[in-house]
Amino acid sequence: MTLPENDYQILKLLPSFYAQYPNPPYVELMKKESRRYTCLLFQSHYDYFICIPFRSNVNHPYAYHFRKSARSRHSHSALDYTKIVILNNTLHLDKVPGYVDKDEYLETLRNIERIKEEALEYVETYVNQSNGQSIIHPKEFTRRYSKSSLQYFHNELGIYNNHHV
């Protein structure tokens, strides 16, 4: 599957993804035994896919926080950048569109360019810092990325050094 440059889809990761990335040792990947997370998927200009999970409760700033949905009024629902999954292909993606709250879907549509830009910036900062280009202070890097799932996708991201540690 390839997506047109400005396109996106809302899908779920297949059980085969979770079989390839079991917990443990991949403890920062989003997984609940009873359900698979729905993700906003778009193709980056680096030829990999970025999959951002919709979550019902996010209490950190590294996310797109929904503000207009009924759910967001009683929880901190968001698209969580810290739990981004990077995919080189779509083998582990369900072909059936995922379901999300209608208000959150509409808010995603209205803010899709901002969300894609923020997610790409989050990933690019991680890649640059990991490849030895100091973009942010090491303490800030730890604050942003210590619980990030990006640590499991170094091959997909072209990271072959670990300068940030």
Mean pLDDT of all residues in 106-122: 96
Q: How far apart are CA 116 and CA 92, in angstroms?
A: 21
- Strand-pair partners of 35: 32
Mean pLDDT of all residues in 71-92: 91
Number of other residues whose CB lies within 10 A of the CB of residue 24? 5
C-alpha distances in Å from residue 75, one per residue of 61, 102, 114: 15, 16, 22
Q: Residue 163: what pLDDT?
A: 52
Which conformational region is residue 101 in: left (phi greater than 0), alpha (psi within -120 to 50 degrees), or beta? Answer: beta
Q: Which of 13-27, 66-80, 85-99 has the lowest mean pLDDT?
A: 66-80
Q: Residue 165: what pLDDT?
A: 42
Task: Report residue 3's pLDDT band, with 50, 70 and 90 as the boundaries.
Answer: very low
Q: Which of 5-9, 70-74, 104-108 has the lowest mean pLDDT?
A: 5-9
Q: Which of 1-5, 129-133, 147-151 has the lowest mean pLDDT?
A: 1-5
And the tokens for 146? 């210590």
pTM for this one?
0.90
Q: How far apart are CA 81 and CA 83, in angstroms?
A: 5
**Choice between 19 and 135, residue whose per-residue pLDDT is larger:** 19
- Model confidence at 159: pLDDT above 70: yes
Average pLDDT of the chain is: 88
Domains assigned to the chain: 9-157 (3.10.129)
Mean pLDDT of all residues in 124-137: 91
